[in-house]
Amino acid sequence: MSVAAPLRIAMVAGEASGDLLAGQLIQALQARLPGAVFFGVGGPKMLAMGFQAWHPLEKLAVRGYVEVLRHYREIAGIRRDLKRRLLADPPDVFIGVDAPDFNLSLEKALKRHGVASIHYVSPSIWAWRGERIHAIGAAVSRVLTLFPFETALYEAQRIPVTYVGHPLADMLPLEDGRNTARALLGISPSVPVFALLPGSRQSELQYMAETFIETARRMHEQIPEALFLAPLTTRETRVLFEAALHRRGAKQLPIRLLFGHAHQAMTAADAVLVASGTATLEAALLKRPMAIVYKMAPLSYRMMRRMGYLPYVGLPNVLAGRFVVPEFIQDEATPENLAQALLNLYADKAACERIKAVFTDIHRQLRQNAAEKAAVAIIACLPTVLRGDAVPAAG
């Protein structure tokens, strides 16, 4: 009697936020598809779930046209290797987690060969490059969206779509845990605290680390008792930040470097200075007032600016549909502007309470048990014979 081969699920995540989403998704799928094998490109959270990494996630974690061009040959080589291996021995399903510029061509090739191709996290077609929706439709079997307003865009083009909510909203508490976070970090409740999050990619640190440090210097001049927390996600980003501290002669500043612990740092803070990206959503779900900042290569910025549709780039403002917190992009992202914005937030307690109320509403909207919903939607895309192996959800 032959033994059925294990279900094979290929996945590609291209950055830390995708690693987080994919790790939770793998856990939810394992509960329904015991024995399934997961492989492709992933990071530490995926590896912790038994994921087999053919290439490390860090190789794809590059943002901006100029930065991608610098690494193009290596990234293109990884994509060719994946395409060759996946077409030679097709998986039962392919899940591209964000990273659309990398994943969509893989998804299209696999879909043409009869492999169900899921894209988890809609590209930001509502913000820029809206014409991509046609390429997405040609490449995917289904799109799983994190935000409720995205589904109508796909439904209008008759592209299969499922809104699953955001896993971060499921993970993070609705309640304010400021005092608990400060106790864990050994910080007095009365100390002014500001969190500095200059990005998770090395390319982001190269453009923003010194700006963040100089912002802290100006704030320290105004609030000498202030403490700054700088959680850094990898050894490489920590080295870059420490090098920037040395260049700016800022070793004397009260900046406490943390390895990880970003959620604790943000929760403990009175206000957060954060690079545009998933960390802005994390800060919003933690109900923290913030100033959003982004800097990149000038050429990349000019190209992206021409293709933008919205007046804001930060996810908290996009979800609110208005400017709830200030944004400082490229030339506006000066230490003087950023320091003043954070000092204004720190001084205006009433404004901070209004911001927290908006963020609490967003949190409730996004709390949908996302990983479970995503797993159900993915299993529904499998052939009937494979779906029959799925274990019903408990409860």
Residue 134 in contact with residue 156, Cβ under 8 Å? no
Contacts of 28 (CB under 8 A, 6+ apart): 371, 372, 374, 375
The pLDDT, as a whole number, for residue 141 is 96
Cα gap 121→21, rounded to integer Å: 9
pLDDT tier for residue 1 given thresholds of 50, 70 and 90: very low
Biggest CA pair distance of the chain: 76
Does residue 212 have a pLDDT over 70?
yes
**In the block, residue with structure tokens 């659309």:** 100
Residues 270-297: pLDDT tens digits? 999 999 888 999 999 999 999 999 887 7
A 10 A CB-CB count for 57 gives 25
Sheet strands side by side (includes 290-294): 255-259, 227-232, 193-197, 271-275, 290-294, 327-329
pLDDT tier for residue 2 given thresholds of 50, 70 and 90: very low
Q: Range of 198's domain? A: 173-366
**In the block, residue with structure tokens 């699953």:** 164
The pLDDT, as a whole number, for residue 59 is 61
Task: Decide if 395 is inside a domain.
Answer: no
Bridge partners, residue 128, by sequence: 308
SS3 258: strand
The pLDDT, as a whole number, for residue 193 is 98
Residue with the bigger pLDDT between 2 and 392: it is 392
290: left (phi over 0), alpha (psi -120 to 50) or beta: beta
- pTM of this structure: 0.81
Domain with 292 in it: what CATH number?
A: 3.40.50.2000
Same domain for 143 and 227, yes or no, is: no
Same domain for 106 and 194, yes or no, is: no
48, 247, 373 from 145: Cα distances, Å: 25, 42, 11
Q: Looking at this protein, which amino acid is placed at residue 305?
A: R
Same domain for 119 and 44, yes or no, is: yes
Same domain for 258 and 130, yes or no, is: no
Residue with the bigger pLDDT between 257 and 69: it is 257
Task: Decide if 278 is inside a domain.
Answer: yes
Query: Could you tell me what percent of the chain has a pLDDT over 70?
Result: 89
Same domain for 208 and 102, yes or no, is: no
Query: Could you tell me what percent of the chain has a pLDDT over 90?
Result: 69
In 271-346, at which residue ranges do the beta strands (DSSP E only) sit? 271-275, 290-294, 327-329
CA 278 to chain centre: 4
Give Rg (Cα) of the chain: 21
Cα gap 220→243, rounded to integer Å: 20
Average pLDDT on 307-336 reads 86
Average pLDDT on 323-349 reads 95
Task: Decide if 116 is inside a domain.
Answer: yes
Residues 31-77: pLDDT tens digits? 999 999 999 999 899 999 999 999 877 666 555 544 555 656 777 88
Does residue 93 have a pLDDT over 90?
yes
Task: Decide if 392 is inside a domain.
Answer: no
Task: Decide if 90 is inside a domain.
Answer: yes
Burial classification of residue 351, based on how many CB atoms lie within 10 Å of its CB (0-12 exposed, 13-18 middle, 19 or more buried): middle
CA 225 to chain centre: 32
Contacts of 210 (CB under 8 A, 6+ apart): 244, 247, 248
Straight-line distance from the first to the last Cα atom of the chain, in angstroms, rounded to the nearest whole number: 34
Same domain for 150 and 247, yes or no, is: no
Bridge partners, residue 213, by sequence: none
Same domain for 355 and 382, yes or no, is: no
Task: Decide if 200 is inside a domain.
Answer: yes
Same domain for 143 and 185, yes or no, is: no
Cα gap 222→231, rounded to integer Å: 23
Cα gap 321→330, rounded to integer Å: 22
Least confident stretch, 53-62, 165-174, 232-241, 322-331: 53-62
Residues 102-116: pLDDT tens digits? 899 999 999 999 999
Task: Decide if 222 is inside a domain.
Answer: yes
Average pLDDT on 182-190 reads 96
**In the block, residue with structure tokens 């299993």:** 379
Same domain for 146 and 249, yes or no, is: no
Name which of 244, 243, 247 is nearest 212 in CA terms. Answer: 244
Structure tokens at 103: 């994943």
Residue with the bigger pLDDT between 16 and 54: it is 54
Structure tokens at 111: 């879909």
The pLDDT, as a whole number, for residue 151 is 93
Same domain for 260 and 111, yes or no, is: no
Same domain for 121 and 109, yes or no, is: yes
Task: Decide if 393 is inside a domain.
Answer: no
| Count of the separate structural domains present in the chain | 2
Bridge partners, residue 95, by sequence: 11, 118
In 6-88, at which residue ranges do the beta strands (DSSP E only) sit? 8-13, 37-42, 52-56
Does residue 161 have a pLDDT over 70?
yes
Same domain for 258 and 346, yes or no, is: yes
Cα gap 27→60, rounded to integer Å: 23
